[in-house]
Amino acid sequence: MSSKYSVSLEKVVTDNSFEVLFTPKDIGEVYISSTEVNRPGLIFTGFTDYFDADRIQFLGLAEIEYLSTLGQEKKDKSLERLFKKKPSAVIITRSLDCGDKILDFASEYKVPLLRTSETTSSSMASLIAYLSVELADRITRHGVLVEVSGEGVLILGGSGVGKSETALELIKRGHRLIADDAVEIRRVSAKTLVGSAPDNIRHFIELRGVGVINARQIFGMGAVKLTEKIDMVVQLEPWEDNKVYDRLGIDNEYANILGIEVPMVVVPVKPGRNLSIIVEAAAMNNRQKKMGYNAALELLKNLGISDDIVSEKKELETIDSF
């Protein structure tokens, strides 16, 4: 699947430790735009329909052995059929000898030729996972991303509401910072969002009255992390006396980010509230819910009113569906 984003082949080679056998130009000027890869067995047999030249092609043991069973003329035609399509790159796995013919066709049709020592399946799986992140749909949100007890918590809220201060206190309590101020969010699958910090502000936190600090330098490597899956959203907002806030947590709220529904809690902020402990408790409570335990429902069950609440909730959901 082609993406509106692209990644340079140079970065792909560096991050995946590929060996460069041939490149028609500086690999920093070659870009990959598809998250999918392919093994060109069908095109070797002559079926060229639906071939996607944007995909990186893999030549493994099966492909190389198949080519060796062909006569020289058929082998040349099979290789020419592939390279003539000008795929974005061809990768040879298991450190196999590519032979002069493959190198000649790569040079003739100006197709980058790479090699890896990994097996074909593991190399393809690794590259698909890598490209899914690098080419994922993304947005940047103003907020803070922290890892709290293994949960990725995205803290949102207006300027000056206390996001960075909360993150700092969480770091002191043994949790880890991923991003402050700007969080780059990528949709890496139909169900998963991953957040990170832009390279130029990674590990920095802005504290009003103090200035900018480097969390990694002050608290050490254990206090920071490069990326984290977003498991929940905590929305901080100034306390409003006339607003009714959820006190039980029976109804689940969600934030829609890049088309994915993420569990969300709204936390009102006022003097005297310890936000870091509240966020910590919200993260652990969210984890318990994912494991099938809901404290609010258990409390209602102990009070003997859970059945009525659940029935009423199901009735309202049925009405809303029409």
247 assigned to active site: yes
Q: How large is the greatest C-alpha to C-alpha distance in the chain, in angstroms?
A: 84
25 assigned to active site: no
Query: Which of the following is catalytic: 247, 251, 270, 320?
Result: 247
Query: Which of the following is catalytic: 55, 163, 203, 225?
Result: 163
Give yes or no for a contact between 54 and 75, defined as CB atoms under 8 angstroms apart.
Answer: no
Query: Which of the following is catalytic: 142, 208, 229, 313?
Result: 142
d(CA 260, CA 279): 21
CA angle 142, 172, 167 (to 5 degrees): 10
CA–CA distances in Å: residue 128 to residues 34, 58, 187, 300: 9, 12, 14, 46
175 assigned to active site: no
163 assigned to active site: yes
Question: Is the CA virtual torsion 106, 111, 114, 119 positive or negative?
Answer: negative
d(CA 167, CA 141): 16
Alpha helices for the chain (secondary structure H): 9-16, 41-45, 61-68, 72-83, 99-108, 120-134, 163-172, 215-219, 275-290, 295-302, 306-321
CA neighbor of 32 nearest in space, from 18, 42, 48: 18
Q: What is the DSSP string of 17-59?
A: TPEEEE-SS-GGG-EEEES-EE-THHHHHT--TT--TTSEEEE
φ, ψ of residue 28 in degrees (nearest 5): -70, -15
CA angle 249, 254, 256 (to 5 degrees): 170
Contacts of residue 318, Cβ cutoff 8 Å, sequence gap at least 6: none
Query: Which of the following is catalytic: 175, 180, 181, 187?
Result: 181
Contacts of residue 162, Cβ cutoff 8 Å, sequence gap at least 6: 236, 269, 275
Instruction: Give the active site residues.
Output: 142, 163, 181, 247
